[in-house]
Amino acid sequence: MRFSLEYAVSRLPLILKYAGMSMNIAVVSMFFTVIFSLVITIVRYYKIKGFHQIVNVYIDIFRGTPLLVQLFFIYFGLPQISPAFVSMTGYQAAIIGMTLNAAAYMTEDMRGALESVPKGQIEAGLSVGMTNLQVMRHIIVPQATRVALPVLGNEFISLVKNSSMAFTIGVRDIMAEATLLGNSSAKFFECYLDAFIIYFVISKIITIFQKYLEKKLNLIGGGLYDSH
Amino acid sequence: MIRIENLSKSYGKLPVLKNIDLDIAAGETVAVVGPSGTGKSTLLRCLNLLETPTEGRVTIDGLSVDACHLTQKEIYAFRRKSTMIFQDFCLFNNKTVQQNITLAMQVVQKINKEQAEGEAEEILQQIGLLEKRNNYPGTLSGGQQQRVAIGRAMVLKSKVMLFDEPTSALDPCLVGEVLSVIKSITQKHNTTIVIVTHEMQFARDVADRIVYMDEGRIVETASPEVFFTNPAEQRTREFLQYYMN
Ligand SMILES: Nc1ncnc2c1ncn2[C@@H]1O[C@H](COP(=O)(O)OP(=O)(O)O)[C@@H](O)[C@H]1O
Ligand SMILES: [Mg+2]
């Protein structure tokens, strides 16, 4: 069998149509991941009793198992033990699974970013009379965000790439469409090449945007952390 | 203004402050000197409650706290009685010079932005850094950073200012500019100052009293005159001999 450039080009727009669904999953998961990570990072930072241990077990489990298993467990497994999950769609299961998975990693990054803020910054805030919460809001979080931003960008790229697993639980995304077209034409090379190109271009665009954002932040900060 | 009674602090089993008693009058400037590792910083940090004392009682401006039962609310209230200047400046890295000075006014004292900026401008003039108001700390010299840190504390108008070796982290050529700002505060006589320092000449110039600490205890308290010419304790004499050379 020979490679048909013409076929690959002609299928590209068809597959590209489903990039919307892939990005949708990535963006929505990212949104929930950031919120959920913030909550569990704070629970861990302040070592809130009870929750703290539960959170650590959750992180251990989700970091120690493959995303694919997690997605299957949520989509195919949970409805069998509780009727509450029967009406769950593949899309919803993908969001839940990807959020729980990504947050288990993101909380580590956020914790690292929080801990990267020097102790002196916190003490200086307290010494001028601020409360712990005020120090968190005005000093620690802004500084930690700058540290975390590049990492969050990478997490987002991971989410875009991992969203390709959603097709295994019935979500019609780039990967699903590429597989479908491949099956019907038996031209898998061309179809998956298109998928390759689309994922790669999306990752690149995000990286460029991320670099731009970092540069802009650096300008605002006027070489903010030059001395540290 | 400040009364320290039977103050002790241990880190785990390591006793760092041992039964400190000290009274400091309103407007007084007290210099605390002594070898490093003897608990001078710990003493200041206990006055600002950045460390919780293990035992004892501290009173500042009529507000007393007891080491044995401290609530978070008491800690916040007590901490606002004094401000602290750190050896390594600790300016807020994510804030400009001006924002460093206005932040606590706005957030803690709830002063509106215009008024806070007005007061910051006055302070910036006093510390001679008005033209650097929009700079970030990372772009300033150590001496400039420390002057901003002093400004950040001054603007809160607390009755007590605590300086922990404010010039120890500076290049020798930058020490003078910081000391002169501190000196101008001591001359106004309405602020009570406790300063830990190794600048003996400066201590002699500005202090009303010198406290000599060694191994977690106050060994001797005397006027600068007596302290530097005729100290009572043998240990003080040895220390001075070592430091004045
Ligand atoms: N957070 C801490 N944990 C344990 N030991 C400490 C801590 N802070 C200070 N120390 C110890 O307490 C002693 C006094 O320290 P410090 O108050 O910084 O002395 P000084 O300021 O006189 O040099 C030192 O032996 C130091 O190692
Ligand atoms: Mg010290």
Considering chain B, what is the average pLDDT of its residues? 94
Q: What is the mean pLDDT of residues B63-79?
A: 93
Contact residues for A4 (Cβ-Cβ < 8 A; gap 6+): A187, A190
Cβ pairs A/B, distance under 8 A: 79
According to the model, what pLDDT value does residue B68 have? 86
According to the model, what pLDDT value does residue A145 have? 87
Tokens 């003493």: give the residue: B43
- Ligand 1, atom 16, residue with closest C-alpha: B39
Ligand 2 centroid, distance to B197 Cα (angstroms): 9
Q: What is the mean pLDDT of residues A36-43?
A: 92
Domain of B181, CATH number, reads 3.40.50.300
For the Cβ of B38 lying below 6 angstroms from any atom of ligand 1, the answer is yes
Q: Give me B28's structure tokens.
A: 């007084």
pLDDT digits (tens, 9 = 90+) for A131-161: 999 999 999 999 998 888 888 889 999 999 9
**Closest of B132, B128, B78, B75 to residue B100, by C-alpha:** B132
- Per-residue pLDDT band for A221 (boundaries 50, 70, 90) equals low
Kindly state the percentage of chain B with pLDDT values over 70: 100
Rounded Cα distance between B11 and A167, Å, is: 57
According to the model, what pLDDT value does residue A228 have? 37
Q: What is the mean pLDDT of residues B64-68?
A: 92
According to the model, what pLDDT value does residue B69 have? 87
Question: Are A224 and B88 an interchain contact pair (Cβ–Cβ within 8 Å)?
Answer: no
Cβ count within 10 A of residue B229:
11
- Per-residue pLDDT band for A217 (boundaries 50, 70, 90) equals confident
Which of chain B's residues have a Cβ under 8 Å away from the Cβ of A120?
86, 88, 90
Domain boundaries, chain A: 5-220
**Residues facing B5 on adjacent strands:** B57
Complex confidence, ipTM: 0.93
Instruction: For residue B20, tell me if it sits in a domain.
Output: yes
Least confident of B162-166, B185-189, B241-245: B241-245
Q: What is the mean pLDDT of residues A153-172?
A: 94
Tokens 């400004």: give the residue: B151
Residue B68 has what DSSP assignment? Answer: T
Instruction: For residue B76, tell me if it sits in a domain.
Output: yes
Q: Is the pLDDT of residue A115 over 50?
A: yes
Instruction: For residue B139, tell me if it sits in a domain.
Output: no
- Kindly tell me the burial class for residue A132, based on how many C-beta atoms sit within 10 Å of its own C-beta (0-12, 13-18, 19 or more): middle
**Closest of B217, B215, B218, B220 to residue B237, by C-alpha:** B220
Considering chain A, what is the average pLDDT of its residues? 91
Q: Give me B151's structure tokens.
A: 């400004």
Domain count, chain B: 1
The CATH architecture of the domain made up of A5-220 is Orthogonal Bundle (1.10)
Q: What is the mean pLDDT of residues B15-31?
A: 96
Kindly state the percentage of chain A with pLDDT values over 70: 95
Cβ count within 10 A of residue B139:
16
Ligand 2 centroid, distance to B53 Cα (angstroms): 16
Rounded Cα distance between B174 and B177, Å, is: 6
Q: Which ligand is nearest to the CA of B15?
A: 1
Whether the Cβ atoms of residue B162 and residue A124 lie closer than 8 Å to each other: no
Report residue A221: phi and psi, to 5°.
-75, -5
According to the model, what pLDDT value does residue A227 have? 39
For the Cβ of B79 lying below 6 angstroms from any atom of ligand 1, the answer is no
**Closest of B29, B25, B15, B13 to residue B196, by C-alpha:** B29
Residue A73 identity: F
**Structural domain of residue B18, as residue ranges?**
2-91+161-244
Report chain B residues touching chain A, CB-CB < 8 A: 48, 50, 76, 79-80, 83-84, 86, 88, 90-94, 103-104, 107-109, 135-139, 149, 152-153, 156
Q: Is the pLDDT of residue A225 over 60?
A: no
Q: Which atom of ligand 1 sits closest to the CA of residue B14?
A: 5
**Residues facing B66 on adjacent strands:** B57, B69
- Per-residue pLDDT band for A226 (boundaries 50, 70, 90) equals very low
- Per-residue pLDDT band for A220 (boundaries 50, 70, 90) equals low
According to the model, what pLDDT value does residue B245 have? 67
Q: What is the mean pLDDT of residues B76-89?
A: 96
Rounded Cα distance between A165 and A173, Å, is: 9
Residues B174, B177, B183, CA angle at the centre, nearest 5°?
135
Residues B107, B108, B114, CA angle at the centre, nearest 5°?
55
Q: Is the pLDDT of residue B66 over 70?
A: yes
